[in-house]
Amino acid sequence: MKPADYPPPFDAREFVAAPADPEDERIDVGVLIVGAGPAGLACAIRLGQLLENAPEVRERLGEVPVAVLEKGKQPGSHLLSGAVVNPRALRRLFKGRKRVDEMPFYGPVEHESVYFLTSKRALRIPTPPTMKNDGNYVASLSQLGRWLAEQAEEGGAMILPETSAVKLLAADGRVRGVRTGDKGRGRDGEQLGNFEPGADVVARVTVLAEGTQGHLTGVALNRFGLAGENPQVWALGVKEVWKVARPLDRVIHTMGWPLRAASKYREFGGSFIYPMGKDMVTLGMVVGLDYRDGELSVHDLLQELKTHPLVRKLLDGGERVAWGAKTIPEGGLLSLPRQLHAPGLLICGDGAGLVNVPALKGIHYAIESGSLAAEAAFAALQRGQTPSTPGALAVYDEALRQSFVWKDLKEVRNMRQAFGRGFWLGGALAGAMTATKGHFPPGDTRTERDSEQELLRTDRAQSYPASDGKLTFDKLSSVFASGNKTRDDQPNHIVIRRDVPPELARMWERMCPAQVYEATAEGVDITPSNCVQCGAITAKGGRLTPPEGGSGPEYTLT
């Protein structure tokens, strides 16, 4: 049995519409950016810089030349990452304007260690070249996002938080903008006292920077036939932030335990432990969603990891202050859409799949792609140009292909796929790929959807530690620590089949870090208000759609 046997009742075509609001009720903006993550905000900042020197273009874009829609309560509320940041793209974006020491970083990476773990021991191994962090900085992406949002606003962008983009507006073969979601509906869709209808936001160029599992990105790939040869595959990351008694002086990565090496389990991943200044540490577990074990729970694996002597010692005397979860697109170059533009549309960041998995890095690619998207949009907005004609935005794809993003991704293009063959063989192949900068093995590996993996039945869950409320935590207290205050009577935003076999219902129950699913005699029940919008369900047989704007987690430190 595999999750793909029970596809969700979801049709991407239902999320494309022509603008319907009367012209005088539409919100008209110049460039519309969906998503205030590093990609979207870099795009807004770069546009602000370019428009500063082009008052005639700014004038033509109307009252709101650049707008950014963000579904979180505020910019940063839905941002979660490691995060060790390569500052390369930020330096380029803020050249001559801001120095790295003015950015909200906890400091440069000074030392690093990689360990191979068994259940009791930690064997230090040489740092693989792809994982070296010399010259990189530690940050909280949520904090970095808030700072980037301030920079974007200073440059003239209008940021609209608590606003979900739910439909792509397209007419005459080109993208016209998006429709925002209604607010104030009850569980059955009825209008409550505080009801506010969504609106058509129309723009000359729409930039989708929705991050992982982008809802409209998926809709646009379908509508314009942009998908590449290989499907995207994902990993789920669950992380915590701790106040600690003693400072950590290095970044740590671990491989091995609690994951299993045998290829039949397809367990690819590891953990990260990063210092956040002198009194905080962040740690997380990342596991590929092509796993097969129906009892695998990334949240519980992170709890198990903390019981390891190496990790327990670091947290001893400390206190958990934040928790969150999010997916990472892991397919790399081979899973990218064949084209990242369509008439009137650009796609950047994680939404496109620009992540270097062996390095666990995507932030600088998001920023670089957002900046390049801004430059392409700006060029197409010059007098005499029309961004909605076919090919007008192709310069974005060309610029991305010439950039360091593409070069990096090409070198590691087969690496994620190699680990589908088990930890040891995958590790050996990855070593050969690194040594030859991606020339060996020649050719490209094919990828299978995460939902195509047959499920295995094991008794894995028995090894998960019980929650003690000090070192280890259950899912519900973790959802609380994410700041999620979603109202219980909001309409459901998770599209799944309810009449699924118990095996699949139980797999979803374990998989979801936020305890949304409950296996029942008839299939599965859900509590959508717990959802932290991590996106794992879209990889494993369902579909996450954007809930009411302003709901979901309220991250501040992740």
Ligand X SMILES: Cc1cc2nc3c(=O)[nH]c(=O)nc-3n(C[C@H](O)[C@H](O)[C@H](O)COP(=O)(O)OP(=O)(O)OC[C@H]3O[C@@H](n4cnc5c(N)ncnc54)[C@H](O)[C@@H]3O)c2cc1C
Which residues here bind ligand SF4, judged by CB under 6 A? 494, 512-514, 516, 531-537, 544
Give the number of other CB atoms < 10 A from CB of residue 515.
16
Q: Which stretch binds ligand X (CB under 6 A): 21-29, 207-215, 222-230, 433-441?
A: 207-215
Give the interface size with ligand X as a residue count (CB under 6 A).
Answer: 46
Place of tokens 């577990």: 285
Burial of 23 (0-12, 13-18, 19+ CB in 10 A): exposed
Token output for 21: 């609001």
Least distance from ligand X to the Cβ atom of residue 226, Å: 17
What CA–CA distance (Å, rounded) separates 110 from 132? 11
Least distance from ligand X to the Cβ atom of residue 53, Å: 25
Which of ligand SF4, ligand X, none does residue 535 bind to, with CB < 5 to 8 Å depending on kind?
ligand SF4
| 84, 252, 305, 536: residue in contact with ligand X (rule CB under 6 A) | 84
Does residue 67 interact with ligand X by CB under 6 A?
no
What CA–CA distance (Å, rounded) separates 376 from 381? 9
Does residue 350 interact with ligand X by CB under 6 A?
yes
Which of ligand X, ligand SF4, none does residue 536 bind to, with CB < 5 to 8 Å depending on kind?
ligand SF4
Does residue 201 interact with ligand X by CB under 6 A?
no
Least distance from ligand SF4 to the Cβ atom of residue 463, Å: 21
Quick one: which of 421, 513, 41, 480 has its CA closest to 235?
A: 513
Place of tokens 């992540």: 355
Q: Which amino acid is at 415?
A: M
| 51, 209, 455, 511: residue in contact with ligand X (rule CB under 6 A) | 209
Q: Which of residues 15-44 bind ligand X (CB under 6 A)?
A: 34-40
Least distance from ligand SF4 to the Cβ atom of residue 79, Å: 16
Which is closer to ligand SF4, CB of 360 or CB of 494?
Answer: 494
Which of ligand X, ligand SF4, none does residue 320 bind to, with CB < 5 to 8 Å depending on kind?
none
Least distance from ligand SF4 to the Cβ atom of residue 166, Å: 16
Region for residue 449 given its phi and psi (left: phi exceeds 0; alpha: psi -120 to 50; beta: otherwise): beta
Least distance from ligand X to the Cβ atom of residue 140, Å: 11
Roughly how many angstroms between the first and final C-alpha of the chain, as a whole number? 35
Which is closer to ligand SF4, CB of 364 or CB of 543?
Answer: 543
Which is closer to ligand X, CB of 341 or CB of 364?
Answer: 364
Least distance from ligand SF4 to the Cβ atom of residue 450, Å: 12
| 28, 153, 210, 304: residue in contact with ligand X (rule CB under 6 A) | 210
DSSP 371: H
Which of ligand X, ligand SF4, none does residue 494 bind to, with CB < 5 to 8 Å depending on kind?
ligand SF4
Query: CA torsion, points 462, 465, 469, 470, in degrees to nearest 10?
Result: 180
What CA–CA distance (Å, rounded) separates 336 from 231? 8
Does residue 275 interact with ligand X by CB under 6 A?
no
The beta strand positions in 318-415, using DSSP E, are: 319-329, 341-342, 345-347
- Is the Cβ–Cβ distance between 110 and 7 less than 8 Å? no
Place of tokens 């020339």: 439
Q: Which amino acid is at 470?
A: K
- Helix (H) or strand (E) run with residue 38 in it: helix 38-52
| 66, 144, 322, 328: residue in contact with ligand X (rule CB under 6 A) | 328
Looking at 415-501, list the stretches that DSSP marks H as alpha helix, in order from N- to C-terminal side.
Answer: 415-418, 423-435, 475-481
Q: Given the rule CB under 6 A, which residues bind ligand X?
A: 34-40, 69-72, 78-85, 141, 164-165, 209-212, 214-216, 237, 239, 284, 286, 326, 328, 349-351, 355, 360-364, 366, 546
